[in-house]
Amino acid sequence: MEKPLGSRYRLGEQLGAGAMGRVFTVSDEGGARYAAKVLRDELAEDQNLVARFLQERSILVGLRHPNLVAVHDLVVEGDTVAIVMDLVSGGDLRRKLAAAGTLLP
């Protein structure tokens, strides 16, 4: 069963995890699909980490290029903090680098 993420999104499957958060597929009320990086619950109480997470979102919103993932929204609700961005198919970079080695620029 999908869980809500803020008032506009529904969490789907987990795609990956990192030091600061987990990445999920999400869908909005219109059915559009995105990815959401959700700050780990235990880190949401650390004001410095939340500030870094929000700074990451602010930087990414200002960047636009065909080869960059676009950021669409920020969700802050209770202890939940998430960045909503383009959903890109094809797996994660870590696995690609492990299989192919260094990539050319």
Indicate the average pLDDT of the chain. 87
What are the beta bridge partners of residue 25? 35
Show the domain range for 77. Answer: 3-100
pLDDT in tens, 28-86: 999 999 999 998 888 888 888 888 878 877 888 888 888 888 889 889 888 888 999 99
Tokens 């802050």 sit on residue: 76
Q: Is 65 among the domain residues? A: yes
- CA dihedral (65, 69, 75, 80) in degrees, to 10, reads -140
Domain count, the chain: 1
pLDDT in tens, 18-27: 888 899 999 9
CATH number at residue 78: 3.30.200.20
Q: Is 105 among the domain residues? A: no
Write 86-92 long-range contacts (CB < 8 A, 24+). 86/34, 86/35, 87/25, 87/33, 87/34, 87/35, 88/35, 92/15, 92/16
